[in-house]
């Protein structure tokens, strides 16, 4: 019997599986059906799926992932209705897969900007630090209008250290655009954000971005994404996702990789069709969960969230609740909604829309703005626990107070506890002494961004080396493990594999990537082994490797790990460095400083070429005797190493500190460890 099948990427369900014998059918992909199907895969029709058996044809409409999954929820909450004129979506992906660039194209094509208006690249990355590093750190809201439907868009961070931002943003939306690179496919953070979105039951549209790359492999990416859905125990309806192929930088999208439209029309149509409007209780008691916090010099604290029920009015008296027993009263002074690229003041917001509320001075993330008389709190936001901690303390170096504006422990304490109000994934606790504080975060970068922001605000302080947060379960010591993926050219693969092996990494997978001669290595490695790994991998691969990590689970203690083989060069007196002294010092290793730099006793001035620290005098001057009888020598100095804040934090060991000021970043030996050695 002749048989031909036309189907959408993941919507095909095998007719050869007996539902009664298997409660959860296993899906078969086009690439797995070669023995069952005689004809090649034909073009996709967005409206129908056709099955041809001989002369008979069966046609049924394609349903997006939400169409069946949402039915039980509607039955349970029959009093709720859907708003058809609004869509709330979050754009989630792994770092550098093109989320912000895709949002740029969506904003331009929806005529948010004037034709002659100058628009910066990655316009959503408005923070200075985001522009410098080329990553998204804070989630941001915007909206566009497409065919009389308002689409609220939230651009989220892609780095695993800012996963807390993504987790709480998912409370505000009904669907997500999962952006996946057309070459790399699903990466560690893709797995994390998809897992969270599936737990919330959101509708998912998969966008295969950068489809114009020469080594793009869309079939592999779709297959890998589908397998990831299955791994994460997605329901059958969630696995029936809509796939869109796009080039964010060119502003094109299509339903097939070979046939892109001239604009993002197919993407907008998929959002309207596949992502449902918000469930609302229009006549119910007011409920709004504060999901994000902004601060304005004139308006004060601004709470951002989605209105779940009721109507919010400017000047309205409300109740702010943390739990049933903990409530207080407040008044809404101003009300904003997101229109295009800015906040627009309004008098009234109806349930289902995302809005910004002013007037509640002490509101916190996770609190509910409820009806004054009948309001009840919504479930609080939960985020995963931190895995890395660092000690913050006041600056005790001889240069204290020279460059910073805020230098006391009270300033430091107030700033750190202030950070907790908008950074849910961070923890702060008092240290062993009154001037020390322990800051815990999702990763080293999570804490480093806080340090960088503080130094730009005028704070001066010291930080210790990052340490992992261990757990004890049934008298067994457990430590956090992470999944590390390294994309490296084949010629440098041996050095990288050796480096990861020395740090107790276990290889999970290895595969070639595209036609560019690179290999993708996947490892499970203790978080301790990742400290200082980024620079070591760049050195081993001559700057060509790309490292990505994400938290996996807690596992048994892996044993001792040596993260640094070399010691430090330490200055043993205060003064100004000289060319004469540095010329002789650089024979001992690589220097961090040049001539004419102010140094103090205990400051780290270079990397020793051997294990163990070496004290030396970088302020030594050439004796002025016998000047006429000796010919002057030409001194050739090496270029000093330029270490950034991230590099310094990766470099330091247990007995070392990083001194952070608005103008300088220095490393020094911890005087407490030196005193402890002398007492022994």
Are the C-beta atoms of residues 91 and 173 closer than 8 Å to each other? no
Are the C-beta atoms of residues 437 and 392 closer than 8 Å to each other? yes
Dist CA 455 CA 452 (whole Å): 5
Dist CA 478 CA 480 (whole Å): 7
**Which residue has tokens 């009263």?**
329
On the question of pLDDT at 81 being above 60, the answer is yes
46 or 426: which leads in pLDDT: 426
Question: What per-residue confidence (pLDDT) applies to 391?
Answer: 93
The residues that bridge with 518 in the sheet, in sequence order, are 489, 513
H/E element holding 102? Answer: helix 99-109
On the question of pLDDT at 131 being above 70, the answer is no
pLDDT in tens, 281-323: 777 888 888 888 887 777 888 888 888 888 888 888 988 888 7
Dist CA 440 CA 388 (whole Å): 6
- Fold designation for 473-556: Alpha-Beta Plaits (3.30.70)
Q: What is the mean pLDDT of residues 47-68?
A: 39
Query: Which superfamily does CATH assign the domain made up of 568-622+633-652 to?
Result: bipa protein (2.40.50.250)
Are the C-beta atoms of residues 276 and 81 closer than 8 Å to each other? no
Instruction: Read off φ and ψ for residue 504, nearest 5 degrees.
Output: 65, 30
pLDDT in tens, 105-124: 888 777 655 554 544 554 45
pLDDT in tens, 560-617: 887 778 889 999 889 999 888 898 888 889 999 989 999 999 999 999 988 888 999 9
Q: What angle do CA 559, 560, 561 make, to 5 degrees?
A: 120
Question: What per-residue confidence (pLDDT) applies to 607?
Answer: 92
CATH architecture, domain 81-278: 3-Layer(aba) Sandwich (3.40)
pTM as predicted: 0.73
- Lowest-confidence region among 473-487, 496-510, 538-552, 631-645: 631-645
Dihedral sign computed on CA atoms, order 90, 92, 96, 98: negative
For the chain, the C-alpha Rg in angstroms (whole number) is 29
- Lowest-confidence region among 97-111, 400-414, 617-631: 617-631
Are the C-beta atoms of residues 638 and 378 closer than 8 Å to each other? no
- Split at pLDDT 50, 70, 90, the class of 83 is confident
Question: What per-residue confidence (pLDDT) applies to 516?
Answer: 66
625: how many CB neighbours lie within 10 A of its CB?
Answer: 7
Question: What per-residue confidence (pLDDT) applies to 413?
Answer: 92
Domains of the chain by residue range: 81-278, 281-370, 473-556, 568-622+633-652
| Biggest distance spanned by C-alpha atoms of the chain | 108
- Split at pLDDT 50, 70, 90, the class of 428 is very high
Question: What per-residue confidence (pLDDT) applies to 63?
Answer: 47
Query: Is 535 in a helix, a strand, or coil?
Result: helix
- Split at pLDDT 50, 70, 90, the class of 148 is confident
Q: What is the mean pLDDT of residues 82-99?
A: 83
- Split at pLDDT 50, 70, 90, the class of 43 is very low
H helix runs in 138-255, sequence order: 163-169, 188-200, 218-231, 236-239
Average pLDDT, the chain: 79
Q: What is the 3-state secondary structure (H, E, C) of 609-655?
A: CCCCCEEECCCCCCCCCCCCCCCCCCCCCCCCCCCCHHHHHHHCCCC
Question: What per-residue confidence (pLDDT) applies to 661?
Answer: 93
pLDDT in tens, 485-537: 888 888 888 888 998 988 888 999 888 775 567 888 899 999 888 887 888 88
Dist CA 162 CA 526 (whole Å): 19
On the question of pLDDT at 373 being above 70, the answer is yes
Question: What per-residue confidence (pLDDT) applies to 4?
Answer: 44
Measured between its terminal Cα atoms, the distance across the chain in Å is 88
pLDDT in tens, 167-209: 788 888 888 999 998 888 888 778 888 888 888 888 899 999 9
516 or 152: which leads in pLDDT: 152
The token pair that represents 90 in the structure block: 């979050």
Dist CA 522 CA 186 (whole Å): 12
On the question of pLDDT at 268 being above 60, the answer is yes
357: how many CB neighbours lie within 10 A of its CB?
Answer: 26
Which residues lie below 8 Å from residue 272, measured CB to CB, with a gap of 6+? 87, 146, 147, 149
- Fold designation for 281-370: Elongation Factor Tu (Ef-tu); domain 3 (2.40.30)
**Which residue has tokens 């302080």?**
461
Dist CA 34 CA 132 (whole Å): 49
pLDDT in tens, 397-413: 999 888 889 999 999 99
Q: Please state, for a pLDDT cut of 70, what percent of the chain lies above it.
A: 80
Residue 501: exposed, middle, or buried by beta-carbon count in 10 A (0-12, 13-18, 19+)? middle
Q: What is the 3-state secondary structure (H, E, C) of 439-464?
A: EEECCHHHHHHHHHHHHHCCECEEEC
Which residues lie below 8 Å from residue 504, measured CB to CB, with a gap of 6+? 525, 526, 529, 558, 559, 561
């Amino acid at each position: 019997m002749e048989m031909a099948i036309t189907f959408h990427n993941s919507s095909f369900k095998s007719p050869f599986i007996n539902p009664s014998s298997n409660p959860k059918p296993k899906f078969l992909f086009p690439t797995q059906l070669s023995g069952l199907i005689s004809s090649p895969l034909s073009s996709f029709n967005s409206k129908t799926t056709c099955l041809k058996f001989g002369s008979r044809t069966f046609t049924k409409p394609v349903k997006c992932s939400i169409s069946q999954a949402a039915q039980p929820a509607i039955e349970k909450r029959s009093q709720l209705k859907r708003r058809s004129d609004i869509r709330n979506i979050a754009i989630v992906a792994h770092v550098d897969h093109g989320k912000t660039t895709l949002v740029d194209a969506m904003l331009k094509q929806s005529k948010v900007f004037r034709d002659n208006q100058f628009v910066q690249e990655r316009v959503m990355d408005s923070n200075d630090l985001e522009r410098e590093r080329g990553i998204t750190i804070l989630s941001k809201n915007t909206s566009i209008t497409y065919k009389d439907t308002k689409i609220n868009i939230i651009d989220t961070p892609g780095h695993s250290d800012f996963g807390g931002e993504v987790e709480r943003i998912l409370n505000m939306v009904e669907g997500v655009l999962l952006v996946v690179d057309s070459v790399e496919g699903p990466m560690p953070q893709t797995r994390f954000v998809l897992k969270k979105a599936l737990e919330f039951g959101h509708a998912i549209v998969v966008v295969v971005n950068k489809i114009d790359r020469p080594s793009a492999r869309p079939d592999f990416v779709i297959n890998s994404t589908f397998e990831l859905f299955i791994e994460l125990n997605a329901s059958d309806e969630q696995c029936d996702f809509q796939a869109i192929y796009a080039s964010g930088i060119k502003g094109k999208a299509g339903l097939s990789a070979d046939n892109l439209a001239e604009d993002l029309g197919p993407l907008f149509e998929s959002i309207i069709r596949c992502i449902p409007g918000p469930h609302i209780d229009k006549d119910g008691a007011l409920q709004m969960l504060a999901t994000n916090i902004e601060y304005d010099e004139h308006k004060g604290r601004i709470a951002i969230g989605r209105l779940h029920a009721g109507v919010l009015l400017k000047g309205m008296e409300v109740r702010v609740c943390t739990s049933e027993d903990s409530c207080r009263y407040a008044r809404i002074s101003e009300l904003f909604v997101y229109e295009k690229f800015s906040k627009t003041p309004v008098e009234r917001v109806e349930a289902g829309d995302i809005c910004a509320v002013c007037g509640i001075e002490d509101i916190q993330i996770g609190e509910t703005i409820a009806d004054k008389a009948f309001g009840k709190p919504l479930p609080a936001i939960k985020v995963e626990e931190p895995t890395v901690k660092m000690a913050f303390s006041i600056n005790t170096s001889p240069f204290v107070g020279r460059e910073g504006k805020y230098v006391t422990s009270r300033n430091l304490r107030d700033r750190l506890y202030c950070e907790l109000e908008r950074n849910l994934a961070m923890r702060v606790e008092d240290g062993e002494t009154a001037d020390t504080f322990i800051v815990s975060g999702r990763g080293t970068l999570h804490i480093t961004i806080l340090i960088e922001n503080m130094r730009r605000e005028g704070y001066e302080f010291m930080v210790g080396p990052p340490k992992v947060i261990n757990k004890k379960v049934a008298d067994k010591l457990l430590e956090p493990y992470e999944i590390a993926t390294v994309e490296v050219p084949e010629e440098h693969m041996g050095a990288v594999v050796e480096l990861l092996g020395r740090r107790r990494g276990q290889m999970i997978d290895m595969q070639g990537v595209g036609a560019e001669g690179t290999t993708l290595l996947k490892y499970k490695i203790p978080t301790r082994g990742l400290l200082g790994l980024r620079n070591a991998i760049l050195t081993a691969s001559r700057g060509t490797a790309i490292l990505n990590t994400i938290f996996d689970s807690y596992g048994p203690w892996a044993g001792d790990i040596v993260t640094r083989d070399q010691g430090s060069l330490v200055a043993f007196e205060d003064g100004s460095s000289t060319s004469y002294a540095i010329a002789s010092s650089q024979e001992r290793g690589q220097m961090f400083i040049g001539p004419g730099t102010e140094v103090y006793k205990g400051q780290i001035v270079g990397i020793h070429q051997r294990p163990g620290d070496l004290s030396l005098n970088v302020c030594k001057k050439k004796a002025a005797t016998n000047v006429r009888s000796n010919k002057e020598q030409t001194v050739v100095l090496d270029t000093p190493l330029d270490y950034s804040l991230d590099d310094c934090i990766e470099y330091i060991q247990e007995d070392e500190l990083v001194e952070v000021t608005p103008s300088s970043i220095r490393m020094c030996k911890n005087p407490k460890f030196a005193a402890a050695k002398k007492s022994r």
